[in-house]
Amino acid sequence: MKHLITLVALALLSVTTYAHNFNSEPPAKKMKATSVQHIVLFKFKPETTPAKLKEILDAFQALPSKIKEIKDLKWGTNNSPENHAHGLTHGFVLTFDSEKDRDAYLPHPAHKEFGTIVGPWIADLTVLDFTDQAK
């Protein structure tokens, strides 16, 4: 009987371990040593309508299809409980393989066109770029 309980316990342990690993997210991929994260934070003017905001967001999300140097785009609205956003409401993180690719993006006609769409509606803007220095 003691052996049966041990076998059942081991079987349950292996099943729960397998289930945990099966449902786990894949480990995050480390950036290339030269990758650049381009972070853009927007605060929109109060008169920005939901329809205008949707147009702006759609235009930003279309940039990777127009600019080959953009390797990834993530974005979202602020949900931090820390109250340090200074009115910034929307954040975007664009990934480039290198500073050279980021530098090609900045004057790109599609990026300039996006600037004409978003520019009149921006109350404040913060941009920060970095290359991963984590070991």
3 state SS of 135:
coil
**Could you say which DSSP state residue 108 is in?**
-
Looking at the chain, how many residues does it have?
135
Sign of torsion, CA 66 67 73 77? negative
| C-beta separation of 47 from 109 below 8 A | no
What letter represents residue 38's amino acid?
H
Does domain 36-131 fall into CATH 2.40.110.10? no
In a structure prediction context, what are the per-residue pLDDT tens digits for the chain, which is 135 residues long?
544 344 444 444 443 444 444 455 544 455 678 899 999 999 999 999 999 999 999 999 999 999 999 999 999 999 999 999 999 999 999 999 999 999 999 999 999 999 999 999 999 999 999 998 887
Domain residue spans in the chain?
Answer: 36-131
For residue 31, give Cα distances in angstroms to 106, 127, 130.
21, 19, 11
**Could you say which DSSP state residue 38 is in?**
E
